[in-house]
Amino acid sequence: MTESPPLIVGLGEALYDLLPAGPALGGAPLNAAVQSHQLGNNAVVASRIGGDTLGRALLDDLTRRGMDTDFIQTDSDTPTGTVEITLCNGEPEYEIIGDTAWDRLAWDKSLASLAKRCDAVCFGTLGQRLEPARSTIQQFATTASQAVRLFDLNLRQDYFSTELLEAGCRAASIVKMNEGELATVAPLLGLGQAEEIQQLIEHFDLDLFVLTRGKLGTALHSANSVVVGQPARFAPDPNADSVGAGDACSAAILHGAVRRWPLQQMADLANRLGAFVASRKGATPELPAELLPDAFS
């Protein structure tokens, strides 16, 4: 009998990135779930959309990709989330529209059941900018105590606080930041100026800390080791942007963590996926099979 693939949840914001080249599916947890699904996992998005054209397009897009949309709630009073993205030398700058459907994500029996049986969940700070989504996401992370719980900070605008950062780190088994986020978060959490990552691991009893470093790739920190992924490079498409590269890294970490991969294997896949997505347009390009020769082990 074939073993069913791991159940991985992208929890929080589901939206459209309004890019110069046109709208593209977005939201960090959604992006991570889409890429996790492409890696062969049973990945689902838990979010809320409006009963509007963009909301219907989002459901159609995920369905075309073969993903279950049962955990996406619909809100008749609030629009599907959007983010205005402008590119400056290929790097995205974000203007996130306020009070959208994802902010109203509600805790219900369906999400409670999903939390108790999932193998991994990815969540961040942006999805928790307002109630009731904040309480729903925190309740899910607490309920999913059996799962890998990846807190991907994804700091945007002023949609975060010390309280939110502490709650996320406490609920997580893995925390992921980029270098800029670490510099912002360290003083907020009262960390000393040396060994900030080890302080975070010890204080929050983390299994893993993931540091993304742009073109330098991903470094994985555990309590007693640091592993750096092998560099990966892909020739960029003409309209390439780096949107979603960090979320592809999250997908690789989730994929490896639920399979208890060695850290080096996880870091190498994170670099490959992140570099490939950064070489393409939008956050969720189709991943070529030859890119991931060992992803299905």
Specify the pLDDT at position 12.
97
What would the two tokens of residue 204 be?
């929050």
Do the beta carbons of residue 221 and residue 211 sit within 8 Å? yes
Q: How many CB atoms lie within 10 A of CB 130?
A: 15
What would the two tokens of residue 32 be?
């991570």
pLDDT per residue over 188-236, tens digit each? 888 776 788 999 999 999 999 999 988 888 999 999 999 999 988 898 8
* pLDDT band at residue 238 under the 50/70/90 scheme: confident
pLDDT per residue over 4-35, tens digit each? 899 999 999 999 988 777 788 889 999 999 99
Specify the pLDDT at position 244.
85
Separation between Cα atoms, residue 171 and residue 140, nearest integer Å: 10
pLDDT per residue over 84-119, tens digit each? 878 777 677 778 888 899 999 999 999 999 999 999
Pairing mode, strands 174-178 and 22-26 = unpaired
Specify the pLDDT at position 203.
92
Separation between Cα atoms, residue 151 and residue 165, nearest integer Å: 9
Cis status, amide bond into 79, omega within 30 of 0: no
Separation between Cα atoms, residue 230 and residue 81, nearest integer Å: 36
* pLDDT band at residue 2 under the 50/70/90 scheme: low
* pLDDT band at residue 1 under the 50/70/90 scheme: very low
Q: Is the pLDDT of residue 39 over 70?
A: yes
Do the beta carbons of residue 281 and residue 290 sit within 8 Å? no
Separation between Cα atoms, residue 89 and residue 102, nearest integer Å: 30
Pairing mode, strands 174-178 and 148-152 = parallel
Per DSSP, the residues of 64-104 read: HTT---TTEEEESSSPPEEEEEEEETTEEEEEEPSS-GGGG
Domains of the chain: residue spans and CATH = 7-286 (3.40.1190.20)
Gap between the terminal Cα atoms of the chain: 17
Separation between Cα atoms, residue 102 and residue 105, nearest integer Å: 5
Separation between Cα atoms, residue 167 and residue 125, nearest integer Å: 10
Separation between Cα atoms, residue 152 and residue 265, nearest integer Å: 20
Residue listed under structure tokens 């490896």: 256
Average of per-residue pLDDT values in the chain? 90
pLDDT per residue over 44-72, tens digit each? 999 999 999 999 999 999 999 999 999 99
Q: Is the pLDDT of residue 187 over 70?
A: yes
Do the beta carbons of residue 229 and residue 275 sit within 8 Å? no
**pTM score, whole prediction:** 0.93
pLDDT per residue over 246-278, tens digit each? 999 999 999 999 999 999 999 999 999 999 999
pLDDT per residue over 149-169, tens digit each? 999 987 766 777 888 999 999
Provide the H-helix boundaries in the chain.
Answer: 28-38, 53-64, 109-117, 133-143, 162-171, 179-188, 196-204, 245-258, 263-278
Residue listed under structure tokens 């299905």: 296
Which one-letter amino acid corresponds to residue 273?
Answer: L
Q: Is the pLDDT of residue 142 over 90?
A: yes
* pLDDT band at residue 296 under the 50/70/90 scheme: very low
